[in-house]
A and B are shown apart, each in its own frame.
Chain A
Amino acid sequence: MTAAPIGYGRQSNRLASGGLIDRSKTLHFTFDGKTYAGHPGDTLASALLANGVVLTARSFKYHRPRGILAAGSEEPNALVELRDGARREPNTKATVAELFDGLTATSQNRWPSLAFDLLSINSLFSPVFVAGFYYKTFMWPAALWEKLYEPLIRRAAGLGRASDDADPDTYEKATAFADVLVIGGGPAGLAAAQAAARTSARVILVDENAALGGRAVDDASEIAGNPAHEWVKMLEGELSRNPEVRILRRTTVFGSYDGGTYGALERVSDHLPHPAPGAPRQRLWRLVAKKVVLATGATERPIVFGGNDRPGVMLAGAVRTYVNRYGVVPGQRVVVFTNNDYGATTASDLVRAGADVVALVDSRPEISDHVYRITNETGVRLISNAAVTDALGKRHVTGADIRLGDGERIELACDLIAVSGGWNPNIQLTTHLGGKPVWNDRLHAFLPGAVPAGMSLAGAVAGDLTLAKSLAGGNAAGSAAADESGHKAIAVPVPTAIAESDAVTPLWRVIGYKGKAFVDQQNDVTEKDIALAEREGFRAVEHLKRYTTLGMATDQGRTANVNALAIMAELTGRTIPETGITVARPPYSPVALGALAGHHRGKSFKPTRLPPSYRWAKEQGCVFVETGLWLRPSYFPRPGERDWLETVTREVNTVRNAVGICDVSTLGKVDVQGAGAAAFLDNIYMNGLKTLTVGKCRYGGMLREDGILMDDGTVARLGENHFFITTTTANAVKVVQHMEYCAQWLWPELDVQIVSATEQWAQYAVAGPKSRALLQKIVDPAFDISDSGFPYLGVGEITVCGGIKARLFRLSFSGERAYEIGVPARYGDALIRRLMEAGEEFGACSYGTEALGVMRIEKGHISGPELNGTTTPQDVGLGGMVAKKKDFIGSVLGKRPGLVDPDRPSLVGFRPVDRSARLRSGAHFLARDARPEAANDEGYMTSVAYSPSSGHWVGLGLLRRGPERLGEIVRAYDPVRGADTLVEVVSPVFVDPEGGRVRG
């Protein structure tokens, strides 16, 4: 690439040629209200730098002017608010945001403007705002905390503003499988993907950027004698044409998980003004791979010196990325400051781009031939055994203060200081599962220790920093991975590359600087903060991190952690391994909650289950209630009805005086067959079932092994070896799980087959004095449903409506004469319509869960609130049902003294002394004169309802020795809702206590 004149048009720092951008198209964007030009292929950062915009942000605590340090996701400073309106996103790294036409960005954390930020007054208080200041301040006077300190701190906290509007975009989740997953699309990753893809292996290649090539393109290297980006293009072509290869660009693998599973975030539409029709904004991938080649490269680390956070101090590798990938030179007069050989190649790259490289300041006293060759060829002034002590300038670098080997100080004018402190392999994905990294004394960096099963390493992440070694290592790793996943390796030639040098001599911080020297720029942690932490005893690296907040910002300290560790090591006279290690946890970079939710937002958070009568009920204007995943009809308001109470009262009265129909399809239904079915059910129900005759059903209760009631329902015997049981809606899944546990694990020798049949049948309760008359109109004449032909608790397989298969049960939850009719679910809609039509002459109504609940409370039937995980059968008046001789789940522990203690709260009814008073469930019972204290608590109200049959509110509850205290007056105490009501203890059966109605 020949030197090109710098600056054309208004993009003063844009090179006339070079880079992967498309100069034929111009994009316009605004930053802080000013409009600039850029090109497709730019990031916001490269476009800003092209336009000579260097000041991008104000730092978190001190509001110092900040610019752009890096060129990738490790950027700590250039955080902007991207877009506006509903898509506004704070804390977006300008180095990652791809430019599109019309992009708007705003700087953050400054007022009134970036250039003149009044809050930079914080800098004056910097001696107060050192690390951990909030542990020592804002304590006195204590009264001011809530009124003054906290509101102030809250307003000062955070960087950007999130939008308050709903996110207009959709997100997706997807799973992909591979034989070989290659993480990283730089030279090592591309070589690995190529080698693996040449076999028959299924390969997924993932790269964070839009364009592949990694450091090879960033450094404008040569591969096989040609510019690297040409080799990349050729490889991309080969991989794209292979149907077994999937390339995920703009995708970050953010976490390693067990079982060869990796989480990745694909930024599908972040680079567009808005997503294409039907496309998601982002997609969350779960990648499952047999083998993984980790080729994530390395991140450059800075050197810590005074003013090293000034706009215009940048990582050397980032400067080269801007030159070679984006065709931008971020400064006209450059000082390169380095402790390793990469500094020299940076200088030569900049000279090639036409920049004036004022000096190469190399901290090392002994310089390699490799470096001398470059400085001789380029004519760059080499100052060895020297260090930049301070960057001069405030809102922009204006010069560098340099201390020479003999102690003399010189000042060089410049507008860009390119810093290279060495490289940190991006090992984070190897530590997510607990693998501890290992310090390498040649590279002075952490390398992976134990890696997740199935993972191998290639390129810089493995410590192979040079291009030649990366290509060779990637090739070998890719072949090996394919081979180990069952696809025989095929020899693929490794392309040549010029030799490079990775020699480095550590220099973590410069001594004798004047200004502030930053280690973690995003959280404003200085070198002196580390010394403070050490003085205060926070010397372990985990304490250092939490005390100073170093490494805890959105860049996860990628340009800070190792430097901090090294400085702490120097301060405490230990080696770096002795001082500690840095271990990362997922996610590697921020992941939007929307992406983690995917499809599961709003109403789609969970699936919604619709019962068979749903369409009909909606037509009636029914009000629904969520019961687990189901939408159940709650009540059916009619025009003119004032409120739900009026509707529900009408429904109850209609059922008790005429007939009502309720959809009870949601209750669990389980088909149990086999020669051992009766014995099996006897083992799991607390009451005896062996005596249940064919054609009859019975109420049944199931306990947990600890003796507590788990669920209740009905058991119907359809045949000698054929049972049909029901459960509550809420416990349907749990009961099936429990039954399968018992059948597979506890009693596998029993011949029993269990099948869920909940959805096979649409089931309606038909209840009320006229219920039989109504059913007579739909049950086919062949079947006798008279009281003698079909007595209470009978069950039969019949047909209805001219031959439709059906099951009829004579059961009652409401306390009235009642039946349940089940038909195959496809006829559920038609049946409710037919029933309502047939019921017209009787004044039939449909009723929902509210009326259902009122009636069962009036009858003292227990339901969910009484089956609350703490009650025994004895507690709720079912003690008589518990079999005494057989073994069943819960039989032994149910007899524990604490569970049979007569002092336990037991089920009784309550009515308010003042009949007009409302009752509330959850109220606790106290003796009339007892103080409201836990010691005097005698139980609680479990269910309440307005009882139309009684004309007042009634309740069920658990009261100590309740059945012995009928007639007593107690207090129902509910301070949460401000209620304190006198109630009379009564029988829990408020309607038809003799129970005659169910039998007709």
Chain B
Amino acid sequence: MADHILTPSSAFMDWHPPATPKLAASARETLTMASFAAARGKEQALREAISAAYGAVLPKSAGRVEAGGIAFVWAGPDQWLAITEHEGARDLEAELKEKLTGIASVVDQSDSRVVVRISGSRARSVLAKGVPIDLHPRAFAPGSVAITHASHVGIILWQVDDAPTYEAAMFRSYADSFAHWLFEAAAEYVSAQP
């Protein structure tokens, strides 16, 4: 009767991301993500639980730490997003619910956002055309996180490495609008593509 496995589809309708040394982008759509927020009065317990389970020290303000293969990204006041690849059907919501019972609320966010990776020698210049954050290395470095927008598409932005490589998480429905903005912003560096 019910034996059809549904196949996942991309948030992008038809994206051909640039792949040049000046600007390269790609979508990360095989992630499992969950947001978690401390129950009242349980902030310290939450830190201890995460530290014990993953060896990660949760950033107190906008920041990102990686431990045990999971990236913990600050996502708002007393809120974090846990992100990792879901190979082997890993389910962060289930995992965290189990480890944080009574300490934090956990919500699956694997599909609510799509993560776009942006890198290249011109990545900062391109992002500056829509993101009103100071991305100079003195102001924003690997581990930094900003909740902001890229030309009116809300994003959570963080830096992965010094290349520089950034990742931007945005609500799924905005994916194509973001891609279109990125295409125009990168146009002067990347040969024009449809």
Q: Smallest CB-CB separation from A799: which chain B residue?
A: B2
Q: Smallest CB-CB separation from A276: which chain B residue?
A: B188
Segment of B54-62, B66-74, B110-118 engaged in the interface with chain A: B110-118
CB <8 Å contact, A614 and B13: yes
Contact code string B141-156 (vs A, CB < 8 Å = 1, else 0): 0000000000111000
Contact partners of B8 in chain A: CB under 8 A: 826-827, 830
Contact pick for A759, options B3, B4, B113, CB 8 Å: B113
CB <8 Å contact, A609 and B174: yes
Q: Smallest CB-CB separation from B13: which chain A residue?
A: A615
A649-B174 Cα distance, complex, nearest whole Å: 32
Contact pick for A286, options B11, B132, B178, B190, CB 8 Å: B132
Q: Does A842 belong to the interface (CB within 8 Å)?
A: no
Contact partners of B6 in chain A: CB under 8 A: 800-801, 804, 823, 827, 830-831, 834
CB <8 Å contact, A801 and B4: yes
CB <8 Å contact, A599 and B176: no
Q: Does B134 belong to the interface (CB within 8 Å)?
A: yes
Task: Known A599-B184, A675-B39, A802-B2; judge A630-B173 contact (CB<8 A).
Answer: yes
Which of B37, B38, B107 gathers most chain A CB within 10 Å?
A: B107
Q: Does A583 belong to the interface (CB within 8 Å)?
A: no
Q: Which residues of B in the span 47-65 have a Cβ within 8 Å of any Cβ on A?
A: none
Contact partners of A614 in chain B: CB under 8 A: 13
Contact partners of B35 in chain A: CB under 8 A: 755
A195-B93 Cα distance, complex, nearest whole Å: 55
Q: Does A963 belong to the interface (CB within 8 Å)?
A: no
Contact partners of A751 in chain B: CB under 8 A: 39-41
Q: Does B130 belong to the interface (CB within 8 Å)?
A: yes
Q: Does B108 belong to the interface (CB within 8 Å)?
A: yes
CB <8 Å contact, A759 and B2: no
Q: Does B96 belong to the interface (CB within 8 Å)?
A: no
Contact partners of B1 in chain A: CB under 8 A: 776-777, 781
CB <8 Å contact, B9 and A758: no
Contact partners of B176 in chain A: CB under 8 A: 608, 610
Interface size of B in residues (CB-CB distance below 8 Å)? 62
Q: Does B189 belong to the interface (CB within 8 Å)?
A: yes
Contact partners of A830 in chain B: CB under 8 A: 6-9
Contact partners of B132 in chain A: CB under 8 A: 175, 286
A862-B133 Cα distance, complex, nearest whole Å: 43
- The smallest beta-carbon distance between B24 and chain A, in angstroms, is 16
CB <8 Å contact, B173 and A610: yes
Task: Known A610-B13, A610-B176; judge A278-B190 contact (CB<8 A).
Answer: yes
A777-B4 Cα distance, complex, nearest whole Å: 10
Contact pick for A761, options B111, B175, B192, CB 8 Å: B111
Q: Does B160 belong to the interface (CB within 8 Å)?
A: no
CB <8 Å contact, B177 and A607: yes
Q: Does A9 belong to the interface (CB within 8 Å)?
A: no
Segment of A166-174, A250-258, A368-376 engaged in the interface with chain B: A166-174
Q: Does A308 belong to the interface (CB within 8 Å)?
A: no
CB <8 Å contact, A606 and B188: no
CB <8 Å contact, A607 and B152: yes
Q: Smallest CB-CB separation from A279: which chain B residue?
A: B188
Q: Smallest CB-CB separation from A824: which chain B residue?
A: B111
- The smallest beta-carbon distance between B185 and chain A, in angstroms, is 7
Contact partners of B45 in chain A: CB under 8 A: none
CB <8 Å contact, B174 and A753: no
Q: Does B171 belong to the interface (CB within 8 Å)?
A: yes
Q: Does A916 belong to the interface (CB within 8 Å)?
A: no
A722-B37 Cα distance, complex, nearest whole Å: 13
Q: Does B90 belong to the interface (CB within 8 Å)?
A: no
Contact partners of A286 in chain B: CB under 8 A: 132
A549-B129 Cα distance, complex, nearest whole Å: 38
Contact pick for A279, options B174, B178, B187, CB 8 Å: B187
Q: Does B15 belong to the interface (CB within 8 Å)?
A: no
Contact code string A110-132 (vs B, CB < 8 Å = 1, else 0): 00000000000000000000000
Task: Known A170-B184, A630-B173, A758-B112; judge A801-B40 contact (CB<8 A).
Answer: no
Contact partners of B7 in chain A: CB under 8 A: 827, 830
CB <8 Å contact, A671 and B13: no
A301-B112 Cα distance, complex, nearest whole Å: 62
- The smallest beta-carbon distance between A9 and chain B, in angstroms, is 37
A111-B130 Cα distance, complex, nearest whole Å: 46
CB <8 Å contact, A760 and B108: yes
- The smallest beta-carbon distance between A213 and chain B, in angstroms, is 27
CB <8 Å contact, A759 and B153: no
Q: Does A922 belong to the interface (CB within 8 Å)?
A: no
CB <8 Å contact, A802 and B3: yes
Q: Does A202 belong to the interface (CB within 8 Å)?
A: yes
Contact partners of A827 in chain B: CB under 8 A: 6-9
Contact code string B2-22 (vs A, CB < 8 Å = 1, else 0): 111111110101000000000
Contact code string A724-765 (vs B, CB < 8 Å = 1, else 0): 000000000000000000001000011111011111111000
CB <8 Å contact, B152 and A802: no
CB <8 Å contact, A177 and B172: no
Contact partners of A236 in chain B: CB under 8 A: none
CB <8 Å contact, A599 and B130: yes
Q: Smallest CB-CB separation from A805: which chain B residue?
A: B108
CB <8 Å contact, B4 and A177: no
Contact code string A87-112 (vs B, CB < 8 Å = 1, else 0): 00000000000000000000000000
Task: Known A176-B128, A608-B177, A826-B111; judge A759-B171 contact (CB<8 A).
Answer: yes
- The smallest beta-carbon distance between B133 and chain A, in angstroms, is 8
Contact partners of A705 in chain B: CB under 8 A: none
Q: Which residues of A in the span 568-604 have a Cβ within 8 Å of any Cβ on B?
A: 598-600, 604
Q: Smallest CB-CB separation from B77: which chain A residue?
A: A744
Q: Smallest CB-CB separation from A172: which chain B residue?
A: B129
- The smallest beta-carbon distance between B121 and chain A, in angstroms, is 13
Contact pick for B111, options A288, A749, A825, CB 8 Å: A825
Contact pick for A829, options B9, B113, B125, CB 8 Å: B9
Q: Smallest CB-CB separation from B150: which chain A residue?
A: A607
- The smallest beta-carbon distance between A87 and chain B, in angstroms, is 18
Contact code string A265-308 (vs B, CB < 8 Å = 1, else 0): 00000000000111110000010100000000000000000000
Q: Smallest CB-CB separation from B181: which chain A residue?
A: A599
Contact partners of A278 in chain B: CB under 8 A: 186-192
Q: Which residues of A in the span 669-703 have a Cβ within 8 Å of any Cβ on B?
A: 671, 673-676
Q: Does B29 belong to the interface (CB within 8 Å)?
A: yes
A172-B180 Cα distance, complex, nearest whole Å: 13
Contact pick for A177, options B134, B151, B187, B190, CB 8 Å: B134
Q: Smallest CB-CB separation from B29: which chain A residue?
A: A826
On A, residues with C-beta under 8 Å from B are 170, 172-177, 202, 276-280, 286, 288, 598-600, 604, 606-611, 614-615, 630, 671, 673-676, 722, 744, 749-753, 755-762, 776-781, 800-804, 823-831, 834
> Which 8 A-B pairs give the minimum distances between C-beta atoms?
A278-B187, A673-B105, A751-B40, A607-B177, A609-B173, A830-B6, A826-B8, A760-B112
Taking A278-B188, A609-B173, A760-B107 as given, write out 11 further A-B residue pairs in contact, using a Cβ cutoff of 8 Å, ordered by the A residue number.
A177-B136, A610-B173, A673-B105, A674-B40, A722-B105, A760-B110, A776-B1, A801-B5, A801-B6, A824-B108, A826-B11
On B, residues with C-beta under 8 Å from A are 1-9, 11, 13, 29, 35, 37-41, 77, 79, 104-105, 107-113, 125, 128-134, 136, 138-139, 151-153, 171-178, 180-181, 184-192
What are 6 residue pairs bridging A and B, where the CB atoms are less than 8 Å apart in the complex? A760-B108, A777-B1, A801-B3, A824-B108, A825-B172, A826-B111
